[in-house]
């Protein structure tokens, strides 16, 4: 480093910054149980102070890291806001209620979890978007799970497992393109490499979904409750098979390689058009897009002060439901459907800004570089190298709060080492996705974790145990590396050569 850019941190200095950050963020989430924004901001201030006063980094350099970190994720933030519009318009237009209504008619507790996993997997593979999958069909499936009395954290975990299959395997996904670009691998070589780790993991998740589904198969299907949910939704919304067209439209557009933002915006327009055709006023529709849907009938039932009040609401809407059941169903639907809109995404976006600013400071000041280099010095085997990348990506998701940084930083750090070992670049790109992409949703202050927690109304740490694909895939990746399964070496012509040992050592 020069006098103009300051010096590099020592290992001890980097360790102190990381220890302080983990302590303050962990205490905020687990001990004080406050929103994570300010603890992350405090960690950012501490890291920036060490960089400025101790390392003598100019403020312009630190500020460049903050702005650069936020800029890198700007597309994701725009998608986040757009999904808020999608959710609001799809609820008001009856699209989400229609999916819930018909889903309750065809799904049972026995097959729900497997069906959910497969549905979300197909949609995410077709669109390449975990957020889009969760924010559309995921919301509907959460509603169906509530109707079937399946725990919401379990349903959310299965939805996330399916949604992230496409996020890491679809050629339309941004992270699926980013990882090979950073590692220097071909896109489809990268996808083929991931089959060695993602394939076995997905089979395990499928088996778990089947087994857990059997736990609910013995329960009595509460037909009266399901019919009550359908009756209230049919009275509050325009439920129709036509409501399934906007999701089909979005999937078709993205499958045709229309970029995610215009594809999702087409879904917003389709949902808004359906609402307007159903008699919703333009001003009301604009308000929904801004602030989300405000439940009417379900809120009236949930807020009924006593049986007489509930009976009055039921009578006014020509509904024949037991008052106690009506209040229960009304409360569930009120919590489920009071969401969407541009403003609803501000909590998540503001957290993303805090986390990305923290990540930018940590990168510009070189704190992670020093720690990762120390780890790398102890690596001797392919299994050890893969483990180092996996742990580095997970650490970046925890410390930097963004999946893009969890792919880019370890990718840059380990690219030369993989080449020196004679490994094909697709090995590095596979490791980056096996951890960087899918563990992001398991961290409460990561933009992905914050988004899904807010979307489903389930704290990240509650759905984490059931997001099987997301925490199992890194473990399978490490195990396969140590067992020598799916190891790809770099051939003389740049082609991958599979084998346990380097070709010139075999």
Q: What angle do CA 118, 275, 78 make, to 5 degrees?
A: 60
Burial pattern 133-159, b for ≥16 Cβ within 10 A else e, equals: bbbbbbbbbbbbbbbbebbbbbbbbbb
Residue 298 has pLDDT above 70, yes or no: yes
Higher-confidence residue of 281 and 260: namely 281
CB half-sphere exposure, 102, CA atoms < 13 A: 13
Residue 376 has pLDDT above 80, yes or no: no
Higher-confidence residue of 153 and 173: namely 153
pLDDT recorded at residue 218:
60
The predicted model gives 395-406 an average pLDDT of 82
Residue 188 has pLDDT above 80, yes or no: yes
pLDDT recorded at residue 56:
95
pLDDT recorded at residue 1:
56
CA–CA dist 92, 415 (Å, integer): 48
Residue 427 has pLDDT above 80, yes or no: yes
pLDDT recorded at residue 337:
87
Please count the helices (runs of H) and the strands (runs of E) in the chain. Answer: 26, 2
Residue 506 has pLDDT above 70, yes or no: no
40 contacts 25 by C-beta, under 8 angstroms: yes
| 68-77, 436-445, 483-492: least confident range | 68-77
pLDDT recorded at residue 113:
94
CA–CA dist 176, 172 (Å, integer): 7
CA–CA dist 123, 130 (Å, integer): 9
Higher-confidence residue of 453 and 372: namely 453
Residue 350 has pLDDT above 90, yes or no: no
Q: Where are the domains of the chain?
A: 76-344
pLDDT recorded at residue 83:
82
The predicted model gives 142-151 an average pLDDT of 90
Residue 219 has pLDDT above 60, yes or no: no
Contacts of residues 316-319 at CB distance under 8 Å and 24 or more positions apart, as own/partner, are 317/235, 318/235, 319/231, 319/232, 319/235
> Facing residues of 498 across strands?
488
Q: How far is CA 350 from the centre of its chain?
A: 16
pLDDT in tens, 261-282: 888 899 999 999 999 999 999 9
pLDDT recorded at residue 396:
86
91 contacts 340 by C-beta, under 8 angstroms: yes
DSSP assignment, residue 9? P
CA–CA dist 65, 322 (Å, integer): 59
Q: Is the pTM of this model over 0.85?
A: no
Handedness of CA 176, 453, 133, 220 (dihedral sign): positive
pLDDT recorded at residue 230:
93
Quickly state the pLDDT bin for 2 (edges 50, 70, 90): low
Residue 425 has pLDDT above 70, yes or no: yes
Nearest to 400 by CA among 17, 11, 2: 17
Mean pLDDT across the chain: 89
Over pLDDT 70: what percentage of the chain?
A: 97
pLDDT recorded at residue 461:
93
pLDDT in tens, 31-51: 887 888 898 899 999 999 999
pLDDT recorded at residue 432:
95
The predicted model gives 482-504 an average pLDDT of 87
Q: How far is CA 206 from the centre of its chain?
A: 19
CA–CA dist 375, 197 (Å, integer): 23
pLDDT in tens, 104-144: 888 888 889 999 999 999 888 877 789 888 987 899 999 99
Nearest to 100 by CA among 329, 299, 384: 329
Quickly state the pLDDT bin for 305 (edges 50, 70, 90): very high
Higher-confidence residue of 220 and 392: namely 392
Residue 443 has pLDDT above 80, yes or no: yes
The 3-state secondary structure of 160-226, one letter per residue: HHHHHHHHHHCCCCHHHHHHHHHHCCCHHHHHHHHHHHHHHHHHHHHHHHHHHHHHHHCCCCCHHHH
Over pLDDT 90: what percentage of the chain?
A: 54
Helix (H, G, I), strand (E, B) or coil at 411: helix
DSSP assignment, residue 440? G
The 3-state secondary structure of 264-284, one letter per residue: HHHHHHHHHHHHHHCCCCHHH
pLDDT in tens, 310-323: 999 999 999 999 99
Six token digits for residue 165: 């299959």
Handedness of CA 109, 111, 114, 120 (dihedral sign): negative
CA–CA dist 162, 399 (Å, integer): 25
């Amino acid at each position: 480093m020069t006098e103009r850019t300051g010096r590099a941190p020592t290992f001890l200095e980097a360790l102190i910054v990381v220890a302080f950050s983990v302590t303050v963020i962990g205490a905020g989430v687990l001990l004080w149980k406050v929103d994570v924004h300010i603890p992350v901001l405090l960690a950012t201030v501490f890291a920036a102070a060490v960089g400025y006063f101790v390392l003598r980094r100019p403020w312009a350099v630190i500020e460049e890291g903050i702005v650069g970190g936020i800029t890198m994720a700007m597309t994701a933030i725009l998608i986040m806001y757009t999904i808020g519009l999608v959710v609001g318009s799809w609820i008001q237009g009856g699209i989400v209620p229609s999916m819930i209504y018909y889903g309750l008619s065809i799904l049972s507790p026995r097959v729900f979890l497997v069906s959910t996993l497969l549905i979300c997997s197909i949609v995410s593979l077709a669109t390449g978007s975990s957020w889009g999958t969760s924010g559309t069909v995921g919301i509907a499936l959460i509603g169906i799970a509530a109707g079937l009395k399946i725990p919401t954290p379990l349903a959310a975990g299965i939805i996330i497992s399916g949604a992230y299959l496409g996020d890491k395997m679809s050629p339309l996904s941004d992270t699926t393109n980013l990882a090979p670009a950073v590692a220097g691998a071909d896109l489809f070589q990268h996808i083929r490499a991931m089959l060695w780790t993602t394939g076995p993991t997905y089979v395990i998740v499928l088996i778990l979904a089947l087994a857990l589904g059997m736990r609910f198969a013995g329960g009595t299907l509460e037909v009266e409750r399901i019919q009550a949910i359908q009756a209230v939704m049919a009275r509050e919304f325009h439920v129709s098979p036509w409501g399934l067209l906007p999701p089909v439209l979005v999937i078709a557009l993205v499958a045709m390689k229309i970029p995610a933002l215009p594809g999702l915006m087409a879904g917003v327009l389709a949902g808004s058009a359906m609402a307007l055709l159903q008699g919703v006023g333009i001003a009301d529709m604009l308000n929904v897009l801004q602030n989300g849907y405000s439940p009417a009938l379900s809120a009236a039932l949930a807020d009924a002060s006593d049986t007489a009040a509930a009976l009055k609401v039921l009578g006014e809407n020509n509904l024949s439901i037991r008052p106690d059941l009506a209040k229960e169903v009304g409360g569930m639907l009120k919590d489920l459907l009071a969401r969407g809109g541009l403003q609803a995404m501000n909590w998540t976006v503001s957290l993303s800004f805090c986390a990305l600013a923290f990540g930018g400071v940590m990168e510009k000041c070189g704190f992670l570089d020093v720690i990762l280099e120390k780890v790398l010095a102890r690596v001797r085997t392919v299994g050890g190298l893969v483990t180092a990348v996996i742990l580095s990506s997970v650490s970046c998701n925890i410390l930097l709060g963004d999946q893009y940084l969890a792919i880019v930083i370890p990718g840059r750090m380990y690219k030369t080492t993989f080449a020196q070992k004679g490994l094909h670049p697709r090995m590095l790109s596979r490791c980056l996705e096996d951890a960087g992409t899918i563990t992001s949703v398991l961290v409460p202050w990561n933009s992905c974790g914050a988004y899904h927690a807010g979307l489903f109304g389930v704290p990240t740490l509650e759905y984490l145990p059931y997001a099987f694909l997301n925490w199992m895939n890194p473990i399978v990746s490490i195990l396969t590396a140590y067992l020598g399964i799916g190891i790809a070496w770099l051939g003389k012509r740049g082609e991958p050569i599979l084998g346990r040992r380097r070709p010139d050592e075999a």
